[in-house]
Amino acid sequence: MSASTAVEAAAAAARAKKLNLDKATNFMRQYRDPQSRELKKLSANQFMEVWSHYDKDGNGYIEGTELDGFLREFVSSANATDVSPEAVSDAMLVELKQCFMEAYDDNQDGKIDIRELAQLLPMEENFLLLFRFDNPLESSVEFMKIWREYDIDGSGYIEADELKNFLRDLLKEAKKINDVSEDKLIEYTDTMLQVFDANKDGRLQLSEMAKLLPVKENFLCRQVFKGATKLTKDDIERVFSLYDRDNNGTIENEELRGFLKDLLELVKKDYDAQDLQDFEETILRGVDYNQDGKINRKELTMILLALAKHNQEEETSA
């Protein structure tokens, strides 16, 4: 090896070592432009690297000491000089966290979830569209219609190929064009599975898909159904019209499953299609007196009154 080649090799090794050192001391530094110090646009894979690095316990949130570490590194990485994350004092961190959470913690739970991080970090446009920030579903009835459409084999799960079809259609609808390569779609599908497949079985169950495709509001979470105030006829009518999308006077099929999905979410965080089916059978056994597999106004009233009573009893015993 010539002397010049040896010098070049040594310089390359030093650069690589410095990059690894930067990664070790401040993970966010590698994603900033060296000149402007602004964050570079992240690909789907890079976004997952950031998420996995800070969600150390893999529970789907950046919280507690994970959040402190992320904020320290996020801020200190903006410095042109290699400032240690510890340069952000505890007092500064408290103030920073307050401002940061006001801006990005949409659901005000004191932690950052994957969708909130996606709003914070600059990402390639197509990948960002998959999170549907400006276009949540109106209700769980819409969700159940989409679920039925893309669970092509009726397995009760959205498998990788079905998810890829869904993401392709989502991008087509959002951009009105079909300019996403197959390789990119596979990358997006893999990333979305990494993000939302909580039990790591390589497919999405109902509750996991519900996180990917959120509904604007679970109406049944409102205070009126928590027993705080007396249920009125108007409250019941509002719920009925929310789920009776075709206005035929009964809640049935996807309307019924949308309502039951919202009801199930109040008591169970992780659920699949089988849980929903079992729940449907239990509820209908209790209130569907005419056994037509549908819910009318009277039957809905019984369910909502039972829900309010149950929540009131829970609050009283707490």
User: What number does CATH give the domain 3-123?
Assistant: 1.10.238.10
| Burial per residue of 26-42, b for 16 or more beta-carbon CB atoms within 10 angstroms, e otherwise | bbbbebbeeeeeebeeb
Reported as half-sphere exposure (CB side, CA atoms, 13 A), residue 77 has a value of 22
Residue 154 has pLDDT above 90, yes or no: yes
Residue spans of the domains in the chain: they are 3-123, 130-212, 219-317
Q: What is the mean pLDDT of residues 77-105?
A: 80
DSSP assignment string, 234-291:
HHHHHHHHHH-TT-SSSB-HHHHHHHHHHHHHTT-SS--HHHHHHHHHHHHHHH-TT-
Q: From residue 21, give the alpha-carbon distance in Å to each of 15, 29, 30, 77, 178.
A: 10, 10, 10, 13, 41
User: What's the CA angle centered on 209, arms 201 and 262, to 5 degrees?
Assistant: 125
The model's confidence at residue 308, banded by pLDDT at 50, 70 and 90, is: confident
Q: How far apart are CA 166 and CA 116, in angstroms?
A: 22
What mean pLDDT value characterizes the chain?
Answer: 85
Q: Judge if 130-212 and 219-317 fold alike in CATH terms.
A: yes
Please tell me the distance from the alpha carbon of residue 261 to that of residue 241, in angstroms, as a whole number.
Answer: 16
Decide if domain 219-317 falls under CATH 3.40.50.1000: no
In degrees rounded to 5, what are phi and psi of residue 137? -70, 145
Q: What does the alpha-carbon distance between residue 68 and residue 318 come to, in Å, rounded to a whole number?
A: 32
What are the tokens at 29? 């530094």
Lowest mean pLDDT, pick from 52-56, 127-131, 136-140: 127-131
For 130-212, CATH number? 1.10.238.10
Q: Is the dihedral of CA 177, 179, 181, 186 positive or negative?
A: negative
Q: How far apart are CA 93 and CA 88, in angstroms?
A: 6
d(CA 131, CA 181): 19
Q: Convert the pLDDT of each residue in 232-249 to its tens digit.
A: 889 889 999 999 999 999
pTM of the shown model = 0.78
Mean pLDDT (whole number) for 63-85:
83
Average of per-residue pLDDT across 3-24: 53
DSSP code of residue 313: H
* pLDDT value at 275 more than 90: yes
Residue pair 188/127 in contact by the 8 Å Cβ criterion: yes
